[in-house]
A and B are shown apart, each in its own frame.
Chain A
Amino acid sequence: MESHIAEIVQHTGGVIGNSWLMIAFPLVGAFILLVFNRFTNRWGHLLGVAMSLASFVVAVLAFFELIGFGPEERRRAVHLFEFIPGMPGEPAMVDMGLLIDPLSISFALLITGVGSLIHIYSIGYMSHDEHRRRFFSYLNLFVAAMLLLVLADNYVGLFIGWEGVGLASYLLIGFWQFKPSAATAAKKAFVVNRVGDFGLLVGMFVIWTSFGTLAFKDLGAEVNGVQNGTTLAIGLLLLLGACGKSAQLPLQSWLLDAMEGPTPVSALIHAATMVTAGVYLVVRSGAFFFPEGSGAALAVSIVGAVTLLAGAIIGCAKDDIKKGLAGSTMSQIGYMMLGAGLGPAGYAFAIGHLITHGFFKANMFLGAGSVMHGMNDEVDMRKYGALRKFMPITFVTFFIGYLAIIGFPLLSGYFTKDGIIETAVHHQPILGWLAVLGAGITGFYMSRMVFMTFFGEKRWADDAHPHESPLVMTVPLMVLSLGSLGLGAYLVLNGTLYRFLSPAVGGDPAAAPEFHFVTTPGLATLALVAVGAAFAWMRYGRAEVPAVQPRGSFLTTFARRDLYGDALNESLFMRPGQWLTRLAVFFDNRGIDGIVNGLAAGIGGSSGRLRRIQTGFARTYALSIFIGAALLTGALLLVGNI
C-alpha cells in the first residue's frame, strides 16, 4: 500500500511561523505565577486563563492560515533553533522546530480550546481553594508542555513535552498533597509513567541508531514502508510508551488513582488531552506501525480492545463518580487505540473519537465536578440521587455528554465510535465484535451513573444542600455539550476529518470511507447499548439503590478491585522488589559491612596487641637491635661463606 503522506514544507513568517507563541504564552504564564508566587495571588487565575485563551487564539489563526494552503502543502515545518549541535562542520544532530500539520493543529485546537474552557471553569471550581494561583500555574505549565508534545517536529521535542505533561500531571494529581491518598496517587502515576517513558526513550534510542535521525520529516523518507525486525521493535517500544501515558493495559493502574486530583485536572489531563498522547504517538509514528493489521499495529489494536473491555468492566462497579468516569476514559482510549492500530482508515476515526471524546468526557467530568461542588465534595454516587431538579444545567449538559458517549444516534460519539467499530469489524472481526460488546457495557455503566446521580430517590448526606453552580462553571459545560452534540457529525459525515488529516497520516484522500447509518455492527451496537441502558434502568433507575455498597458477586468484586491490576503489580513487582531490597540491605549490613568492619576490627585488634611491643624500655629495644645485628652477622657469614 503506497503512502499518501505529504511532503513537509519549510515555512517562515505568518502566524504559523510564529506558532511557537502557542507554547510560549502558557509557559510565560506558568513562569510568572510560579516565580512571583504570592504577589500574583489576586489576579493569578485571570492571567492563567488569559494565557490559555491567547494560545487558543494563536491556534485558531494558525489553523485558518493552514487551511489556506492546498491539501498537499498542509504540512508546514517551522525551524526554531539548533538544539543539539553536531560535530564541527556537520549539520545539527537535532534541530528544534515545530510541525504544523492537520494532525498537530487538531490537537492544538483541542488542547487550547478545551483547556481554556477548563481554565475558566476552574476559576469557579477552585474559588475556595487558597492555592488557586498555584493550580493555575500548573495548568498553564501543562498546556505548554502538551502543546510542545504535539507541535514538536522531532522525537526529542516530543519527549520533552511528554515528560513535561508527566510532571504537570504529577503536580496536579498531588495538588492536595496534604491528603496522603493524593500524594500516593501522584507518586504512583509518576512511577507507572516511568515504565512507559522507558519504552519511549529506548524506542528513540533504537530509532537514532537505526536511522540516524529523530526528525519526523527525515524519518518518513528513511523508513518509507520498510518493515523488518527493527521497525517492529521500535513499534512495540513506542506502544509501551503509549500504554504508560494513555493508561492502557498493562500500565493502566495509575489512572483510577489519579482521580485524587481536583476535578478540572481529571477533565483536562486525565480525560481530554494528556492521556490521548499515546494515541497521538502511535498515529504520528505511523511509519513504524506498518502495514496495518500486522506486527506492532496488531499489538496496538489488541491492547486497545482489551483495555476498552477492562475499562468498561471497571466502570460498571465503581460508586465513586470520578472513578467511574476514569474507567470510562480508559475504555474510550482503548477504542482510539483500536482505531489507531487499523492504519489510515482507522486514524481518522481514532482522532475523531479523540476529539469528540475530549469534548464529551471533559463535559461529563466537569459536570461531575459541578455535582461535587454542590454536594460538599461528595463523590459516592450512592449518596446522590434525584439531582436533576436541583442542578438543571448540569443535568442537561451531563445528559448530552452521556448520550454522546453511549453512541446515541446522531450525537458526536455515535459517529466516531461507530466509525471505529465498523472499521475494526471490517479489518479485525474479532476485535471489532469485542468493541461492540464494549459499547453495550458502556451503555450499561454510563446509564447506571446517570440514573444513580440524577434520578431515583434522594440519598444525600444530612448536611448536603445541592445547588446549581455559578455561571463561570456552567458556561464551559454548555459550550462543551454543544461540541458533544454536533462535532461528531461535522467531522465524520462527508469524511471531512479524514480528508483533512490524510496529508499528515497517509490516507488516500480520494478513498474517504463513507459513513453508513445502517450496518450490522452499528445495529448490533445500538441494540446492545439499549439492552445495557434498560438493564441499568431496572437496577438503578426504577429500583431502590442501596446507600451502602452491597457485597456483590465475584465479578463485581473483580471489577471493583480494578481487575486485580494493583494486586498483580504488587505481587509481581512490589513484593519481589521489597525482597530484593531486604536482601541487598542484609547483604550490605552483614556481608559488606561485615567484611569492612571485620577487617578494621582485625587490624585494630592485632595492632592493639602488636603495640605492646613498644614497652618504652630502651634496653628492650637495644636487645632487639643486638639480636638483629647478631642474626645479620650470622646471615652474612652464611651467605658470604667467610
Chain B
Amino acid sequence: MTTHYLVLSGLLFAIGALGVLVRRNAIVVFMCVELMLNACNLAFVTFARQVGNLEGQIIAFFVMVVAAAEVVVGLAIIVTIFRTRRSASVDDANLLKY
C-alpha cells in the first residue's frame, strides 16, 4: 500500500505545483501551496507507518502549524496588496525587476 500512498502524494504535489505555476490569482496560488504541503504530509504519515515510527507524524504536525502561520501572514499580505493595487493577481506585482 505504501507505494500507492506515495504515488498519490507525488501526484497531488505535482498538481499543486502546476497550479502555482499557471494560476494568477494570488489566493488560488496560495491554495495550491497548501495542497503541496498536504501532499508532503501524506508522505510523512505514510512513511511513519511504513517504518513504524511516530516521528513522521510529529513532523507532519509541525508542518501543519507552520502552514497555519504561513497562511495567516500570506493572506494578510495579499489583503494589503489588494488594498493598494485593487488586484489579487500575482502578475500585477512585478515592479521589482530589471
Partner of A615, one of B22, B24, B93, B97: B97
Contact of A617 with B94 in the complex, beta carbons under 8 Å: yes
A626, B20: Cα distance in complex, Å:
10
Contact of B97 with A619 in the complex, beta carbons under 8 Å: no
**Per DSSP, are chain A's interface residues mostly helix, strand or loop, or mixed?**
helix
Partner of A622, one of B21, B93, B96, B98: B21
Partner of B94, one of A611, A612, A615, A626: A615
Q: How many residues belonging to B are interface residues under a CB distance threshold of 8 Å?
A: 13
- B95 is an interface residue with CB less than 8 A from chain A: yes
- B70 is an interface residue with CB less than 8 A from chain A: no
Contact of A626 with B98 in the complex, beta carbons under 8 Å: no
Closest chain A residue to B96, Cβ basis: A616
- B48 is an interface residue with CB less than 8 A from chain A: no
- A568 is an interface residue with CB less than 8 A from chain B: no
- A623 is an interface residue with CB less than 8 A from chain B: yes
**Per DSSP, are chain B's interface residues mostly helix, strand or loop, or mixed?**
loop
Residues of B within 8 A of A615 (CB): 94, 97-98
| A611, A614, A617, A623 — most chain B CB neighbours (10 Å) | A617
Residues of B within 8 A of A626 (CB): 17, 20-21
* A217: min CB distance to chain B, Å: 79
Contact of A622 with B20 in the complex, beta carbons under 8 Å: yes
Residues of A within 8 A of B91 (CB): 617-619
- B66 is an interface residue with CB less than 8 A from chain A: no
- B90 is an interface residue with CB less than 8 A from chain A: yes
Partner of A618, one of B17, B22, B93, B98: B93
Residues of A within 8 A of B17 (CB): 626
* B13: min CB distance to chain A, Å: 10
From 584 to 633 in chain A, residues with beta carbon under 8 angstroms from any chain B beta carbon are 611-612, 614-619, 622-623, 626
Apart from A615-B94, A617-B90, A619-B20, what 10 extra A-B contacts exist at CB < 8 Å? A611-B98, A616-B95, A616-B96, A616-B98, A618-B91, A619-B24, A619-B91, A622-B20, A622-B21, A623-B21
Residues in chain B within 8 A of chain A (CB atoms):
17, 20-22, 24, 90-91, 93-98
Please give me the 9 A-B residue pairs with the lowest Cβ-Cβ distance, nearest first. Answer: A616-B97, A616-B94, A611-B98, A614-B98, A614-B97, A618-B90, A617-B94, A623-B21, A626-B17
Jot down 17 A-B pairs with beta carbons below 8 A, ordered by A.
Answer: A611-B98, A615-B94, A615-B98, A616-B94, A616-B98, A617-B91, A617-B94, A618-B90, A618-B91, A618-B93, A619-B20, A619-B90, A622-B20, A623-B21, A626-B17, A626-B20, A626-B21
